[in-house]
Chains A and B, each alone.
Chain A
């Protein structure tokens, strides 16, 4: 490093330290969002330049001359050596999704500080390390999938365990994400109309790109975007015309059933008709909105209204149950570390990397970007008034449905708010009410509307921006639901096919219909359970989703650790061991607390016991209205407890297998890893 470069990095470090100091130490007065941005960007640059470089050069020993799968199997289709900037965009678009937007919004109930610190520390030491290591492993194994790698490196039993884990997460993710959409659209004719319009728009796009102008992605996306904008603007008219509004003013249970039915239809239709065009539209909208939001935050640089730390760090918060440890780390999920990315980093990206030195830019760099999206979500959630934030994110079971009562309850928590503020905020964004819109998306939309309208359009356009933000999230969540149902169907067919071989044939229409129906039934159950939950569903289910996601990350990092041992690089294995231990401690504690905590707000069994006892005594407890609902709640508690317990058990089993294999690798003086290509020592090789 030249003297000038050293000076530059020292300046970045000082600037980052000052910004981080201001973020962490300011109390009592609002701080500006710009400090958050500066602090995180400095942290990212330093981590990327020093830590990530250390990992690729020292820990992995990447070799610029080593042939990558893109060259070895070059077919111009799946395996193509691709420019690194192009591939970065592809990889980022594949990992970015609803998780980093929702998690930080929910975490904001404890103030902006705890969440921000975990987003930064988590991404640098866990999330980005996981993404990059899995990408590295997959690149050295011809772009194999995570499940495949677990099987070859750890054996068939852990492989099967990982497979079951992936299926379970898939189902929970689909259920919980669909719940986010339902909560955002219930009783909102404007939002429902706009999102419903995406179906005919996608059909038009599908036909256009199939028959009229085949393969013209640009033209068709432009067409879709114009139609979407028209639907967004016309949505206001729909919501203000009672005759029209009544068709789109739907209750949460109705919406849930519609989405389940839609997921089924979308997953069995030909992909070019509905799924693909919507995917194109949502991908471009997602990337465009993220860039726009980043620009708006820099231009507007609003003040944060939320306190640095609120009293809810003790676990008594209304948004989700549980204390700072372990539940904050579970809640933030994808913005800091996401097990999902290990599936993507072992998907199409490793098949297109030009050379191994680019793994840092694509694997680590894209995850840093994702983390920045999480920081933006945190900013959007904390620029709105804390009273409004809690009104939006607390279930109706806590604050009621009347603004006067809700304002009273929230003010009693120490966040002074008037009923007028709640109704005015709703009116500003063109909604009947904003209370108990749990799930993060509406909160994010209000925050984004306030930032974006400050950037463009003022209060006049706040309604448009709000519904634009809702549309943007709903669109890509629903695309995930379509695509995810197809993936689930495949996994179910694969799993059930072990018992009934005929079920494995994916060309069979009967199998497709049965498989899709099963997949929809499974995630639909989670969704419907959440919709009926008087606490808003998210309160109960988001921690379960977070646990599942972190569990997958722990599995992926265990694999990374084992491979480092097998490569005889155990000296450096701490880079993956440290985050693995942290994730295992978090997921297992969270899993056990969710099952066994004596506090009915946290523990599923304690909750079931409380309701079971009341049932035996013949009384109906507050959220439930009938004895039947009471029975439903108890049943759901047992299902959730089983899932949480299973997650903890899966993680522990994987770790035990991991330790066994690490010890075995230590005892062998040679590298025993299953890499493909030159550089593999004798005695090892691809099986």
Chain B
């Protein structure tokens, strides 16, 4: 396989994994870290574990009134 083709396959795999994770409410961690480092370089950011827990709680947070997968 040529270099660009492997790159493309890797990108597709990455996207599939991102999609699966977002389906259950967990956005891309690397994007979050990049965002924090670019925009708030002086502030600490969550570890992956904290990030995961925060997102999990947010998905089912009472008060957001979210309702999925009904019809």
Contact = CB atoms under 8 A, between A and B. Distances in A.
Given A279-B24, A286-B69, A86 B15 contact: yes
A280 interface: yes
B67 A484 contact: yes
Interface stretch (A46-54, A342-350, A404-412, A586-594): A342-350
Interface string B12-38: 000101111111111110011111100
Q: Which 5 pairs from chain A and chain B are nearest by CB?
A: A99-B71, A334-B71, A215-B52, A76-B32, A89-B19
B63 A272 contact: no
Given A77-B54, A99-B70, A506-B63, A283 B28 contact: no
A491 B65 contact: yes
Interface residues of B, number: 41
21 contacts: A76-B31, A77-B55, A80-B27, A85-B19, A86-B18, A89-B20, A95-B68, A99-B71, A214-B48, A215-B48, A215-B52, A218-B20, A271-B57, A276-B59, A279-B59, A283-B23, A284-B24, A344-B67, A483-B69, A490-B62, A506-B62
Contacts of A82: 22, 27
A343 B23 contact: no
Contacts of B63: 490, 506
A287 B58 CA distance: 22
Contacts of A93: 23, 68-69
Instruction: Provide the main secondary structure of the chain B interface.
Output: helix
B32 A77 contact: yes
Interface of B: 15, 17-28, 31-36, 39, 48-49, 51-60, 62-63, 65-71
Contact of B66 (A90, A147, A348): A348
Given A80-B28, A271-B56, A86 B62 contact: no
A549 B71 contact: yes
A603 interface: no
A78 interface: yes
A483 B67 CA distance: 7
B71 to A, nearest CB: 2
Nearest to B34: A76
Nearest to A546: B71
A341 B34 CA distance: 32
Instruction: Provide the main secondary structure of the chain A interface.
Output: helix
A328 interface: no
Contacts of A347: 66, 68
A487 to B, nearest CB: 5
Contact of B26 (A177, A217, A340, A490): A217
A241 B53 CA distance: 42
A98 B23 contact: no
Interface in A468-493: 476, 479-480, 483-484, 486-487, 489-491
A275 interface: yes
Contact of B24 (A76, A87, A99, A280): A280
Contacts of A490: 62-63, 65
B27 A283 contact: no
A97 B71 contact: yes
Given A217-B21, A506-B62, A483 B68 contact: yes
A483 B18 contact: no
Given A97-B69, A271-B56, A476-B69, A75 B35 contact: yes
A86 B35 contact: no
A94 interface: yes
B15 A83 contact: yes
Residue from A272, A279, A341 having most chain B Cβ neighbours under 10 A: A279
Contacts of B58: 77-78
A85 B67 contact: no
A338 interface: yes
Residue from A82, A215, A217, A275 having most chain B Cβ neighbours under 10 A: A215
Interface in A290-344: 333-334, 338, 340-341, 343-344
Given A90-B23, A343-B67, A484-B70, 16 more contacts: A74-B35, A75-B35, A77-B54, A78-B58, A83-B18, A85-B15, A90-B22, A94-B68, A97-B70, A170-B67, A215-B26, A218-B20, A271-B59, A282-B69, A476-B69, A483-B67
A100 interface: yes
B62 A480 contact: no
A333 B71 contact: yes
Interface of A: 74-78, 80, 82-83, 85-87, 89-90, 93-100, 103, 145, 147, 170, 173, 177, 209, 214-215, 217-218, 271-272, 275-276, 279-280, 282-284, 286-287, 333-334, 338, 340-341, 343-344, 347-348, 352, 476, 479-480, 483-484, 486-487, 489-491, 506, 549
B67 A275 contact: no
A484 B62 CA distance: 11
Contact of B71 (A77, A100, A483): A100
B36 A76 contact: yes
A100 B52 CA distance: 31
Contact of A90 (B17, B19, B51, B55): B19
B28 to A, nearest CB: 7
Contacts of B48: 214-215
Nearest to A173: B70
B62 to A, nearest CB: 5
A399 B22 CA distance: 47
A340 B62 contact: no
A80 B66 CA distance: 18
A86 B19 contact: yes
A287 B68 CA distance: 14
Contact of A487 (B36, B51, B65): B65
B71 A283 contact: no
B53 A272 contact: yes
Contacts of B52: 209, 214-215
Residue from B19, B20, B52, B68 having most chain A Cβ neighbours under 10 A: B68
B54 to A, nearest CB: 7
B24 A145 contact: no
Residue from B17, B28, B70 having most chain A Cβ neighbours under 10 A: B70
Nearest to A92: B23
Contacts of B49: 214-215
Contacts of B31: 76, 80
A244 to B, nearest CB: 32
Contacts of A282: 69
B35 A340 contact: no
B21 A87 contact: no
A338 B19 CA distance: 24
B68 to A, nearest CB: 5
A90 B24 CA distance: 8
A75 to B, nearest CB: 7
A271 B60 CA distance: 7
A217 B24 contact: yes
Contacts of B51: 215
Contact of B62 (A74, A99, A280, A486): A486
